Chain A
């Protein structure tokens, strides 16, 4: 084995051009594959990350306006949900799948004022889960908590845009201060992030506080909950049909009148996102495999030419006593050595390229108007994938070299000697 290694080392050293060309083909193949997969992963992470800002996994129910006459009522009737709908949703009939039922009041427009600065806002009574459901991100302070609800505290969470209007120099300083809102005052407990052009003007206050100040009826704006059960789109649709019809009948709305009582769900959207993710991933893999195939073709080609070119040399080796097995062993060992060394180099370069992408493009954000997004998020390839690809290329390169090697090993020495 050591003898073979020395023989290979001397062969490779003394054929620098051939070694370099073969090596380059191998390195390039691996490099392209890893850089491509890295960029693809980055794009997908970015896509998924940006989308998940908008998609919530919860289901929410709102009363709208009927679009069909039913039970003696004309169409065009406004539907208002109430506490009984919440109780119904929490009832044993739905409790096996329905989780985290929350509700939200309607909203009231107010003008906040502080030290002569004013800003408009829509106060709405919500529950602590609102933060997660609406995917809000806190900028300073905290969101509403269960104690706020229990004690009907007069606290409010403002958007950053509003905070900047009220306290232009130092929006964070607003946390803890009392701001006027018409005839009442609220203490600001937190500020949530808004993008430049955000539509969020809603100012959450505790549900119970809202009911105490603005609306003592049992009417509510929307019910929101999460589902634990439906796995597929079909499952979900079956649930929505059953639950929706039941809820509609409670309000004398046609069971199939989706505009009467509207059920919005991030649930199937989410499933579709998972599908999209799967499709992109498959596509990336196909692209990667095609790159790998082109790498293999390149390596095979060079191996083929290298073996052909060496027929005469193999003839000499045979004349002085090399058996076919020795020739085969020599060629294969040489090709494994070249592909392994240069494959490793290509893999390292590919991973370095991924890191460079991460440090440059990965840190840049592109303004798409509504918000800023990152083009590439974490554009890297796992070491396992990189190693697998490298090993695959080495094996393929070896197999590709083995076919002409097998032929060369079988050529009669006299024919090999005649070859030029």
Chain B
């Protein structure tokens, strides 16, 4: 079991307490391609942030690859994020003053990998994603799809256990959305990387093998979706 959540509770306290996650129990196996689906305010992003060790939780237990992720120091959390988790964000979150290849290199910088090695590896991953020609371009010179592929390359470069994608197609047009989802699917199938996608679009969720519905802070239905027929139309309508 790669990910195991037991009774996770999370309350935000901004003036008045807001109980966002009300006892989440969830298991995800290594190599799964899962989506977490829910309306806005359902707590899906909070769940993803907890999975990504970007945020902490109040009660419960979170086991990641056999390690209990609880009350970690910032340094430890940073180290786990760096080595085990790759992030893909809706707004790409590339550093604007760094070129594509420099952005992809950055996680390795924090691992202490030498510059030359870093650069070689980053170029390798950019090539894999068909971005060799864009390596020395800045994010604002690229299209949304290209930026998201740079972000995916950055997420992959540390060979993480999991990729967490928070609305990865949210800022993309439908054609590019399909391409990005196909890319994630290929990574899952060919490289065996566990991928968790958070989305509110059923078309996107339909591309994954398992759909976890979350509503008002609790897990609802969990659909097996190996045949990709949970939704009767593709995301391209």
What residues of chain A have their CB less than 8 Å away from a CB belonging to chain B?
Answer: 3, 6-7, 10-11, 14-15, 313, 315-326, 410, 412-414, 417
Contact: A413 with B154, CB < 8 Å? no
Contact between chains at B95 and A321 (CB < 8 Å)? no
* Cross-interface CB contact of B87 among A14, A320, A324, A326, cutoff 8 Å: A320
Give chain B residues whose Cβ lies under 8 Å from the Cβ of A14.
Answer: 97-98
Residue B110 at the chain A interface, CB threshold 8 Å = yes
Residue of B nearest to A11 (CB): B97
User: Which chain A residue lies CB-closest to B97?
Assistant: A14
- Shortest Cβ distance from A18 into B: residue: B97
B29 located at the interface, meaning its Cβ lies under 8 Å from any Cβ of chain A in the complex: no
**20 A-B interface contacts by CB (under 8 A):** A316-B93, A316-B94, A318-B78, A318-B81, A319-B81, A320-B82, A320-B106, A320-B107, A321-B78, A321-B79, A321-B82, A321-B158, A322-B78, A323-B78, A324-B74, A326-B110, A413-B54, A414-B54, A417-B54, A417-B89
Q: How far is B111's CA from A319's CA once the two chains are assembled, in angstroms?
A: 13
What are the interface flags for B91-129 relative to A under an 8 Å C-beta threshold, 1 for contact and 0 otherwise? 001110110001000110111101100000000000000
- B237, CB-defined interface residue at 8 Å: no
5 more A-B residue pairs beyond the given contacts A11-B97, A319-B81, A326-B78, with a C-beta to C-beta distance below 8 A? A3-B112, A316-B95, A413-B54, A414-B55, A417-B89
Note all chain A residues with C-beta closer than 8 A to B93: 315-316, 319, 417
Contacts of B79 in A (CB 8 A): 321, 323
Q: In the complex, which range does the number of interface residues on chain B fall in?
A: 20 to 34
Please give the residue numbers on chain B whose beta carbons come within 8 Å of chain A beta carbons, in ascending order: 49, 52, 54-55, 74-75, 78-79, 81-83, 87, 89, 93-95, 97-98, 102, 106-107, 109-112, 114-115, 154, 158
The 5 closest A-B pairs by CB, nearest first: A321-B82, A14-B97, A323-B78, A321-B110, A323-B75
- Among residues of A, the one whose C-beta sits closest to the C-beta of B91 is A417
- Are A321 and B74 in touch, CB under 8 angstroms? no
A112 to B49, CA, bound (A): 107
- Closest residue to A317 on the B side, CB-wise? B106
Taking CB as reference atom, which chain B residue is nearest A312? B93
C-alpha gap A15/B106 in the complex (Å): 17
Name B154's contact: one of A3, A320, A322, A412 (CB within 8 Å).
A320
Contact partner, A313, options B74, B95, B109, Cβ 8 Å: B95
In the complex, A412 Cα to B109 Cα: how many Å? Answer: 21
Instruction: Known A320-B106, A321-B110, A417-B93; judge A10-B98 contact (CB<8 A).
Output: yes
Per the bound structure, the CA–CA distance linking A50 and B176 in Å amounts to 83
Chain A residues positioned under 8 Å from B102 (CB to CB): 10
* Contact between chains at A322 and B110 (CB < 8 Å): yes
Which of B97, B109, B110 interacts with A15 by CB under 8 Å? B97
Contacts of B52 in A (CB 8 A): 319
CA distance A324 to B75 in the complex (A): 7
Q: Are A414 and B49 in contact (CB under 8 A)?
A: yes
CA distance A326 to B79 in the complex (A): 11
Residue of A nearest to B114 (CB): A3
B109 contacts across to A, CB distance below 8 A: 3, 7
Shortest distance from the beta carbon of B117 to any chain A beta carbon, whole Å: 11
